Amino acid sequence: MPAAAMMSQRWWSMFDPRTRHGQIYLFLLAVRCYSALYGYGYIHPDEWMQSGEPYFGFSLDGVEARLTWEWHPEHALRSLSALVMQYLAVEPLLKIYRLLSSSLSGQALFLIQRINMLFWTLVLDVSVVFILPPQIARHIHYLFGISTAATTFLIRPFSNSFEAHLLAFCLLHVSNFFKDPAWYKSAGVVGLRWGVLLALIGVDGFFTRFTFAIFALPLAIFVLYRHVQVAAEGHKRTALGSLAIAVNCVVIFLAGRVESDTNFYTRAADTNGVEVAGFWGTKWVVPPINALLYNLKTENVAQHGLHPRWLHVVVNLPMMVGVANCVILVVYGWQFGRERLHPGTAIHGAGNEGAMSQDEQERIEVEQTVKGAEGVVAGPSSTTPSQTSDDQDIPYVDNEPIIVPLSLATIIFALAILSLSPHQEPRFLLPLAFPSTIIMAYALQSPTFTSRPSLTRTLCVLHVIQHILQLVLFSFLHQAALLPTLFSIDTSFSHLPSHNPLWNRYEHHLLYRTFSVPLHFLPNKVSGMYPRVEQYDSATDPGKLVHMASTACDHTWVYAPTWVVGGLQEDAHKQGRVEMVGVGMVSWHLDMDHLSESWALIKEVGWKEAFAIQKLAVQCIDHTQIDDTVESQGQPERPQVDPPSHDDL
């Protein structure tokens, strides 16, 4: 079937709500959108501190941001140019929002960032439709659409999320361009287009995270192999020309990124009077190289936590791609390797003919669906245009012989290299979610699984259940009360009078024992001393926090998980200067590091309050009334204590 015809049919049939696939896809897309817009789960501080915090801190006037050490010029481990590419849709969304509203809120900034990441997931969905065969594309939309990667991680502005998107784009476009053995015959304008695109994706991926080079290395080797193969067949000029286009584009894009980041960090270094972290003693700043050199030293990564080197394989990969997916990876990967070593034992075997007929039947069904839809839209007077001879001369070539081996190579190689590092977090393997889904989609159509319907059904049910549970945990429970708390504080700031004396505009908000607070979610907090938002971790004991809160009592609120509130109120009672009164809470805040403490409170306060962030009003105790009461009881008078000054803060 002509490729162009297949593209148009796949597009309309797969996104048409009148088709079964369209209904399922739109439902999964609705789940993803709901998770993006209403899932306040806070997975890891890097989710905001490495993305929105620096981006809006540098781009929005009046927004206070707390930059992590990676963004300091003496370290320069992060690339602002890559972050700008990741936030490609943020500026247009900001302009649209400002046309609709006069003031910017923290929740608006949250939604803008999530919608921006949703945009990238939709681009990936469309790429799948246009590049992969219809049946495979449907399977990927189902399997990947329900996965934790799509519903939870990719809609969050992790640098890992953008890295995963870029790797998926790279994998799809490499397999699509080189699937035809005669690809070099169209390596003119088409080769220029693909060379520019792959170069841009590769450079952006490398500057987003240096680990992108590890994930993409099998793809780069394959591209080089294809060019060498064509050159060996006598097409040296074509191969060299195509390769030269890609290499020149890489150099140009690389120079642009280095120039942009060098200017950014040089200005920051000059402003702060520090030395910039240049490349091998030069003035040029290459953030991914700095990040690579930093992570090569065990003493550096030890500051972030050391893990056993088997953690990626045994725990992190099953978490990110799914247990069922891992089972299929092992089975299908072993069969694929056996086929390559012993060509007589093919994966499809005797069922290949049946599989081909099934594919043909799927294509016929797609054709009929589209023709029916066209008839409904166009009406009885319309006619279906006949295909030109040029279209009929275009052969349809399946991606499977290219994309499956590339996916396997990417997974095996990246997993092996990343497992060498002693610091291993699940999100580091997020880019492997899409390649593993491709393998799963092809595997489920092979006779190995189609001949075992019970096993296939069990694996699919396991896949869905695991990812739904992880969706609930990470999107709606994990540290999920912190962001609504910040939105509430920002709303409180927006109601403060702007022309009254400073004291009338004073508010002091203390957050205790939570994840890192992204201050860019408080755009209504004006720069300067008043109002104030401060965060304290476990290094600050409850007694010290109570003392600091008491210095501005009646103007201070403390926000803390329920399991630590009792200790704060007890210390406040011992100090006798203030009392902490609960005035509100945000429920369903799951702190995995203190699960036992929250669990112990369930019988006392119930589920909703045990897993919550409490808002405590710090109220001054009137010592005059206390002293009068003591005198009336015949007790000696307590010495008068002067109220603390604001200098104590």
End-to-end Cα spacing for the chain: 74
CA pair distance 154, 159, nearest whole angstrom: 10
Highest mean pLDDT out of 230-234, 288-292, 353-357, 505-509: 288-292
Q: Is the pLDDT of residue 643 over 50?
A: no
CA dihedral of 231, 338, 430, 12, whole degrees rounded to 10: 70
- The torsion region of residue 634 among left (phi > 0), alpha (psi -120 to 50) and beta comes to left
Domain locations along the chain? 161-296, 482-648
Q: What is the mean pLDDT of residues 99-127?
A: 95
pLDDT value for 499: 64
526's tokens: 């004006």
pLDDT value for 354: 43
Helix, strand or coil, per DSSP, at residue 379 = coil
Q: Is the pLDDT of residue 253 over 70?
A: yes
357's tokens: 């007929």
Q: Are 523 and 106 in contact (CB under 8 A)?
A: yes
CA pair distance 20, 25, nearest whole angstrom: 9
pLDDT value for 213: 98
Instruction: Give how far Cα 604 sits from Cα of 289, 390, 611, 613, Å.
Output: 53, 76, 12, 16
CA pair distance 480, 466, nearest whole angstrom: 20
466's tokens: 């695991």
pLDDT value for 59: 92
Helix, strand or coil, per DSSP, at residue 38 = helix
pLDDT value for 624: 59
374's tokens: 């066209």
6's tokens: 């297949």
Q: What is the mean pLDDT of residues 88-112?
A: 95
pLDDT > 70 in the chain, percent:
82
pLDDT value for 188: 56
Q: What is the mean pLDDT of residues 499-506?
A: 61
β-pairing verdict for 508-512 and 532-536: parallel
Helix, strand or coil, per DSSP, at residue 72 = coil
pLDDT value for 476: 97
Q: Are 401 and 407 in contact (CB under 8 A)?
A: no
Of the listed ranges 195-209, 411-425, 495-509, the least confidently predicted one is 495-509
The residue that leads in pLDDT, 49 or 9, is 49
Q: What is the mean pLDDT of residues 420-431?
A: 96
Of the listed ranges 193-207, 419-433, 469-483, the least confidently predicted one is 193-207
Q: What is the mean pLDDT of residues 256-284?
A: 94
pLDDT value for 242: 85
Helix, strand or coil, per DSSP, at residue 578 = strand
pLDDT value for 179: 79
DSSP string, 612-647: EEEEEEEEE--HHHHHHHHHHTTPPPPPP-PPPPGG
pLDDT per residue over 505-542, tens digit each?
Answer: 678 999 999 999 999 999 988 755 578 899 999 999 99
pLDDT value for 160: 98
Edge-first strand listing for the sheet containing 556-561:
532-536, 508-512, 556-561, 612-620, 578-587
CA pair distance 532, 525, nearest whole angstrom: 8
pLDDT value for 504: 58
Q: Are 164 and 430 in contact (CB under 8 A)?
A: yes
Scanning the structure block, which residue is given the tokens 């690579």? 292
Scanning the structure block, which residue is given the tokens 């929740």? 107
Of the listed ranges 20-24, 331-335, 362-366, 598-602, the least confidently predicted one is 362-366
* pTM summary value: 0.87
Of the listed ranges 8-12, 79-83, 294-298, 532-536, the least confidently predicted one is 8-12
Q: What is the mean pLDDT of residues 58-62?
A: 88
Q: Is the pLDDT of residue 421 over 90?
A: yes
Of the listed ranges 248-262, 477-491, 498-512, 550-564, the least confidently predicted one is 498-512
CA pair distance 511, 615, nearest whole angstrom: 9
- pLDDT confidence band for 317 (50 / 70 / 90): very high
504's tokens: 């009338």
Q: Is the pLDDT of residue 446 over 50?
A: yes
Highest mean pLDDT out of 2-16, 221-235, 494-508: 221-235
Residues in CB range of 325: below 8 A, 6 or more apart: 143, 436, 437, 440, 463
Torsion 408-413-414-418 (CA) sign: positive
Of the listed ranges 311-315, 470-474, 528-532, 596-600, the least confidently predicted one is 528-532
Q: Are 173 and 179 in contact (CB under 8 A)?
A: no
Q: Is there a cis peptide before residue 531, judged by omega within 30 degrees of 0?
A: yes
pLDDT per residue over 349-388, tens digit each?
Answer: 433 444 444 545 544 554 454 344 334 334 444 333 344 3
Of the listed ranges 60-64, 122-126, 611-615, the least confidently predicted one is 60-64
Instruction: Give me Rg for the CA atoms of the chain.
Output: 29
The residue that leads in pLDDT, 143 or 11, is 143
- pLDDT confidence band for 235 (50 / 70 / 90): confident
Residues in CB range of 64: below 8 A, 6 or more apart: 57, 519, 520, 522, 525, 527
pLDDT value for 501: 57
pLDDT value for 183: 73
pLDDT value for 264: 96
343's tokens: 């060509």
pLDDT value for 648: 35
Mean per-residue pLDDT over the chain, rounded: 85
Helix, strand or coil, per DSSP, at residue 360 = helix
The single-letter DSSP state of residue 308 is: -
Q: Are 121 and 150 in contact (CB under 8 A)?
A: yes
CA pair distance 486, 52, nearest whole angstrom: 14
Q: Which residues pair with 587 in a beta bridge?
A: 612
pLDDT value for 199: 94
CA dihedral of 265, 271, 275, 278, whole degrees rounded to 10: 20
